[in-house]
Protein backbone atom coordinates (compact mmCIF):
# COMPACT_ATOMS: atom_id res chain seq x y z
CA UNK A 1 0.00 0.00 0.00
CA UNK A 2 2.85 2.39 0.83
CA UNK A 3 2.79 5.77 2.54
CA UNK A 4 1.17 8.91 1.24
CA UNK A 5 3.47 11.83 0.43
CA UNK A 6 2.69 15.27 1.81
CA UNK A 7 4.15 18.36 0.13
CA UNK A 8 3.82 21.50 2.31
CA UNK A 9 3.33 24.81 0.52
CA UNK A 10 2.80 27.55 3.06
CA UNK A 11 0.34 30.37 2.53
CA UNK A 12 2.44 33.29 3.68
CA UNK A 13 5.35 34.98 1.96
CA UNK A 14 7.67 32.69 3.88
CA UNK A 15 7.30 29.28 5.42
CA UNK A 16 8.54 28.32 8.90
CA UNK A 17 11.91 27.34 7.41
CA UNK A 18 12.37 30.88 6.07
CA UNK A 19 12.10 30.08 2.36
CA UNK A 20 10.14 32.53 0.20
CA UNK A 21 6.96 31.11 -1.30
CA UNK A 22 8.39 31.19 -4.84
CA UNK A 23 11.30 29.06 -3.70
CA UNK A 24 8.84 26.63 -2.15
CA UNK A 25 7.10 26.32 -5.52
CA UNK A 26 10.45 25.70 -7.18
CA UNK A 27 11.14 23.00 -4.60
CA UNK A 28 7.75 21.49 -5.42
CA UNK A 29 8.68 21.46 -9.10
CA UNK A 30 11.88 19.59 -8.26
CA UNK A 31 9.91 17.04 -6.25
CA UNK A 32 7.54 16.54 -9.15
CA UNK A 33 10.48 16.15 -11.53
CA UNK A 34 11.75 13.30 -9.34
CA UNK A 35 8.57 11.28 -9.91
CA UNK A 36 9.14 8.48 -12.45
CA UNK A 37 8.21 9.42 -15.99
CA UNK A 38 4.68 8.45 -16.91
CA UNK A 39 5.65 5.91 -19.51
CA UNK A 40 3.49 3.29 -21.13
CA UNK A 41 4.04 0.87 -18.25
CA UNK A 42 2.83 3.42 -15.70
CA UNK A 43 -0.27 4.53 -17.55
CA UNK A 44 -3.53 3.02 -16.31
CA UNK A 45 -5.42 1.11 -18.99
CA UNK A 46 -9.17 0.93 -18.49
CA UNK A 47 -11.30 -1.22 -20.73
CA UNK A 48 -12.00 0.81 -23.87
CA UNK A 49 -15.70 1.12 -24.75
CA UNK A 50 -16.48 0.01 -28.29
CA UNK A 51 -17.95 3.42 -29.13
CA UNK A 52 -15.22 5.55 -27.52
CA UNK A 53 -13.32 7.79 -29.95
CA UNK A 54 -10.59 8.31 -27.33
CA UNK A 55 -7.57 5.95 -27.45
CA UNK A 56 -7.28 3.79 -24.36
CA UNK A 57 -3.92 5.33 -23.37
CA UNK A 58 -5.66 8.72 -23.14
CA UNK A 59 -8.04 7.50 -20.43
CA UNK A 60 -7.69 7.23 -16.66
CA UNK A 61 -9.72 4.41 -15.11
CA UNK A 62 -12.63 5.01 -12.75
CA UNK A 63 -14.84 2.58 -10.79
CA UNK A 64 -16.71 0.36 -13.26
CA UNK A 65 -20.24 1.65 -12.49
CA UNK A 66 -19.04 5.21 -13.04
CA UNK A 67 -17.26 4.20 -16.25
CA UNK A 68 -20.63 3.09 -17.63
CA UNK A 69 -21.96 6.59 -17.00
CA UNK A 70 -19.14 8.39 -18.85
CA UNK A 71 -19.19 8.39 -22.67
CA UNK A 72 -15.50 7.49 -22.92
CA UNK A 73 -15.46 5.00 -20.05
CA UNK A 74 -12.99 6.99 -17.95
CA UNK A 75 -11.43 10.39 -17.39
CA UNK A 76 -9.86 11.78 -20.53
CA UNK A 77 -6.30 13.05 -20.08
CA UNK A 78 -6.12 16.78 -20.63
CA UNK A 79 -9.72 17.33 -19.52
CA UNK A 80 -11.22 19.10 -16.50
CA UNK A 81 -13.96 17.54 -14.39
CA UNK A 82 -16.02 19.62 -11.96
CA UNK A 83 -17.14 17.55 -8.97
CA UNK A 84 -19.57 18.19 -6.13
CA UNK A 85 -21.20 16.08 -3.47
CA UNK A 86 -20.38 12.84 -1.67
CA UNK A 87 -16.62 12.49 -1.42
CA UNK A 88 -16.72 8.71 -1.64
CA UNK A 89 -17.06 8.97 -5.42
CA UNK A 90 -14.02 11.22 -5.72
CA UNK A 91 -12.02 8.92 -3.45
CA UNK A 92 -13.03 6.01 -5.66
CA UNK A 93 -11.64 7.80 -8.70
CA UNK A 94 -8.35 8.37 -6.86
CA UNK A 95 -8.25 4.71 -5.85
CA UNK A 96 -8.85 3.46 -9.39
CA UNK A 97 -6.20 5.72 -10.92
CA UNK A 98 -3.46 4.89 -8.41
CA UNK A 99 -4.28 1.17 -8.19
CA UNK A 100 -3.72 0.99 -11.95
CA UNK A 101 -0.29 2.62 -11.70
CA UNK A 102 -1.07 6.32 -12.01
CA UNK A 103 0.21 9.15 -9.83
CA UNK A 104 -2.24 11.57 -8.22
CA UNK A 105 -2.07 14.76 -6.17
CA UNK A 106 -4.73 16.28 -3.92
CA UNK A 107 -4.58 20.02 -3.33
CA UNK A 108 -6.55 21.88 -0.66
CA UNK A 109 -8.39 18.96 0.95
CA UNK A 110 -7.43 18.85 4.62
CA UNK A 111 -9.49 15.82 5.57
CA UNK A 112 -9.27 13.42 2.69
CA UNK A 113 -10.38 9.93 3.74
CA UNK A 114 -7.16 8.00 3.22
CA UNK A 115 -8.50 4.95 5.07
CA UNK A 116 -11.48 4.87 2.72
CA UNK A 117 -9.11 5.23 -0.24
CA UNK A 118 -7.02 2.30 0.98
CA UNK A 119 -10.14 0.17 1.44
CA UNK A 120 -11.09 0.97 -2.15
CA UNK A 121 -7.71 -0.29 -3.34
CA UNK A 122 -5.73 2.95 -3.63
CA UNK A 123 -1.94 2.80 -3.76
CA UNK A 124 -1.22 5.47 -1.15
CA UNK A 125 2.44 5.80 -2.12
CA UNK A 126 1.26 7.23 -5.43
CA UNK A 127 -0.83 9.99 -3.82
CA UNK A 128 0.74 13.35 -2.93
CA UNK A 129 -1.14 15.58 -0.48
CA UNK A 130 -0.91 19.37 -0.37
CA UNK A 131 -3.50 20.18 2.31
CA UNK A 132 -2.32 23.78 2.77
CA UNK A 133 -1.53 25.13 -0.72
CA UNK A 134 -1.45 28.79 0.33
CA UNK A 135 -3.30 31.72 -1.24
CA UNK A 136 -3.11 30.39 -4.82
CA UNK A 137 -4.06 26.69 -4.97
CA UNK A 138 -4.62 26.96 -8.73
CA UNK A 139 -0.94 27.77 -9.24
CA UNK A 140 0.09 24.80 -7.11
CA UNK A 141 -2.22 22.50 -9.08
CA UNK A 142 -0.81 23.81 -12.36
CA UNK A 143 2.70 22.88 -11.20
CA UNK A 144 1.55 19.40 -10.21
CA UNK A 145 0.09 18.77 -13.67
CA UNK A 146 3.68 18.43 -14.89
CA UNK A 147 4.24 15.09 -13.20
CA UNK A 148 0.86 13.66 -12.22
CA UNK A 149 -1.76 11.66 -14.05
CA UNK A 150 -4.58 13.11 -11.93
CA UNK A 151 -4.76 16.30 -9.86
CA UNK A 152 -7.67 16.99 -7.49
CA UNK A 153 -8.02 20.69 -6.68
CA UNK A 154 -10.12 22.03 -3.81
CA UNK A 155 -10.94 25.68 -4.52
CA UNK A 156 -12.27 26.52 -1.07
CA UNK A 157 -15.27 28.36 -2.51
CA UNK A 158 -13.25 30.45 -4.95
CA UNK A 159 -14.39 31.50 -8.42
CA UNK A 160 -11.64 31.03 -11.01
CA UNK A 161 -11.69 33.62 -13.84
CA UNK A 162 -12.18 32.21 -17.36
CA UNK A 163 -8.77 33.44 -18.53
CA UNK A 164 -7.14 31.48 -15.73
CA UNK A 165 -9.14 28.33 -16.38
CA UNK A 166 -8.20 28.39 -20.07
CA UNK A 167 -4.51 28.61 -19.20
CA UNK A 168 -4.72 25.69 -16.78
CA UNK A 169 -6.74 23.58 -19.24
CA UNK A 170 -4.11 24.21 -21.90
CA UNK A 171 -1.42 23.06 -19.47
CA UNK A 172 -3.36 19.93 -18.52
CA UNK A 173 -3.82 19.11 -22.20
CA UNK A 174 -0.14 19.60 -22.99
CA UNK A 175 0.96 17.48 -20.01
CA UNK A 176 -1.59 14.71 -20.52
CA UNK A 177 -3.06 14.99 -17.02
CA UNK A 178 -6.67 15.09 -15.83
CA UNK A 179 -7.84 17.76 -13.39
CA UNK A 180 -10.78 17.41 -11.00
CA UNK A 181 -11.96 20.63 -9.30
CA UNK A 182 -14.17 20.78 -6.22
CA UNK A 183 -15.64 23.33 -3.81
CA UNK A 184 -15.73 26.29 -6.17
CA UNK A 185 -16.68 27.62 -9.58
CA UNK A 186 -14.77 26.56 -12.67
CA UNK A 187 -16.53 27.49 -15.89
CA UNK A 188 -15.96 25.43 -19.00
CA UNK A 189 -15.38 22.03 -17.39
CA UNK A 190 -15.59 19.17 -19.88
CA UNK A 191 -17.60 16.99 -17.47
CA UNK A 192 -19.62 17.77 -14.35
CA UNK A 193 -20.21 15.09 -11.75
CA UNK A 194 -22.60 15.30 -8.80
CA UNK A 195 -23.00 12.59 -6.18
CA UNK A 196 -25.44 12.22 -3.30
CA UNK A 197 -25.97 9.53 -0.70
CA UNK A 198 -29.44 8.06 -1.19
CA UNK A 199 -29.42 5.24 1.34
CA UNK A 200 -27.57 2.68 3.44
CA UNK A 201 -27.58 -1.11 3.54
CA UNK A 202 -27.68 -3.21 6.68
CA UNK A 203 -29.80 -0.95 8.87
CA UNK A 204 -33.33 -1.82 9.94
CA UNK A 205 -36.27 0.57 10.01
CA UNK A 206 -35.29 1.44 13.58
CA UNK A 207 -31.76 2.37 12.39
CA UNK A 208 -30.25 -0.68 14.08
CA UNK A 209 -27.92 -3.22 12.62
CA UNK A 210 -24.52 -3.31 10.96
CA UNK A 211 -23.81 -0.88 8.14
CA UNK A 212 -22.56 -2.88 5.16
CA UNK A 213 -23.13 -0.58 2.22
CA UNK A 214 -23.90 2.89 0.93
CA UNK A 215 -25.94 3.89 -2.08
CA UNK A 216 -25.02 6.86 -4.27
CA UNK A 217 -27.02 8.73 -6.86
CA UNK A 218 -24.59 10.05 -9.47
CA UNK A 219 -25.30 12.56 -12.21
CA UNK A 220 -22.91 13.20 -15.10
CA UNK A 221 -23.22 15.77 -17.84
CA UNK A 222 -20.78 17.35 -20.23
CA UNK A 223 -20.20 19.45 -23.29
CA UNK A 224 -20.75 16.54 -25.64
CA UNK A 225 -23.46 14.52 -23.90
CA UNK A 226 -26.78 14.99 -22.17
CA UNK A 227 -27.23 14.42 -18.41
CA UNK A 228 -27.01 10.81 -17.30
CA UNK A 229 -27.96 9.49 -13.88
CA UNK A 230 -27.13 6.19 -12.22
CA UNK A 231 -27.34 4.53 -8.85
CA UNK A 232 -24.08 3.08 -7.54
CA UNK A 233 -23.70 0.87 -4.47
CA UNK A 234 -20.57 0.72 -2.32
CA UNK A 235 -20.56 -2.60 -0.50
CA UNK A 236 -18.26 -4.18 2.05
CA UNK A 237 -16.38 -7.04 0.41
CA UNK A 238 -13.93 -9.61 1.71
CA UNK A 239 -10.88 -7.55 0.81
CA UNK A 240 -12.28 -4.01 0.75
CA UNK A 241 -14.99 -1.85 -0.73
CA UNK A 242 -16.71 -3.12 -3.88
CA UNK A 243 -18.45 -0.92 -6.45
CA UNK A 244 -21.67 -2.30 -7.90
CA UNK A 245 -24.37 -0.92 -10.20
CA UNK A 246 -27.47 0.04 -8.25
CA UNK A 247 -31.09 0.34 -9.27
CA UNK A 248 -31.82 2.52 -12.32
CA UNK A 249 -32.32 6.22 -11.57
CA UNK A 250 -34.19 8.88 -13.47
CA UNK A 251 -32.52 11.94 -14.98
CA UNK A 252 -32.88 14.84 -12.59
CA UNK A 253 -33.24 12.63 -9.51
CA UNK A 254 -29.91 13.65 -7.95
CA UNK A 255 -30.17 16.51 -5.43
CA UNK A 256 -28.46 19.73 -6.38
CA UNK A 257 -25.03 20.42 -4.79
CA UNK A 258 -26.46 22.43 -1.87
CA UNK A 259 -28.60 19.42 -0.89
CA UNK A 260 -25.92 16.77 -1.32
CA UNK A 261 -24.99 14.65 1.66
CA UNK A 262 -21.28 14.58 2.21
Domains defined along the chain, listed by start: 5-190 (3.40.50.300), 193-259 (no CATH)
What is the full per-residue pLDDT of the chain (262 aa) written as tens digits? 666 667 666 544 444 445 666 776 777 767 666 666 564 434 444 544 445 578 888 999 999 999 999 999 999 999 999 999 999 999 999 999 999 999 999 999 998 999 999 999 999 999 999 999 999 999 999 999 999 999 999 999 999 999 999 999 999 999 999 999 999 999 999 999 999 998 887 665 555 656 778 999 999 999 989 999 999 999 988 888 999 998 765 544 455 544 433 3
For residue 137, report the phi and psi dihedrals to the nearest 5 degrees. Answer: -65, -25
User: Strand 209-222 to strand 225-236: parallel, antiparallel, or no bridges (unpaired)?
Assistant: antiparallel
**If residue 30 lies in a helix (H) or strand (E), which one and from where to where?**
helix 21-33
Phi, psi of 68 (to 5 degrees): -70, -20
**Given its phi and psi angles, is residue 155 left (phi above 0), alpha (psi -120 to 50 degrees) or beta?**
alpha
Name the CA radius of gyration of the chain, rounded.
18
Amino acid sequence: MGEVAEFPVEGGSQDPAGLPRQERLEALRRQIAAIPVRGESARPRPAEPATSPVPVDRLLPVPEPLARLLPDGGLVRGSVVSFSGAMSLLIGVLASATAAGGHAAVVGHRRLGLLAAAEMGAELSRIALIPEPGPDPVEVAAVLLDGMDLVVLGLGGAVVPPARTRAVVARARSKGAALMVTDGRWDGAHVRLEAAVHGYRGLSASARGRLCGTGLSVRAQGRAFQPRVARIDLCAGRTGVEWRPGEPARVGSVPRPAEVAR
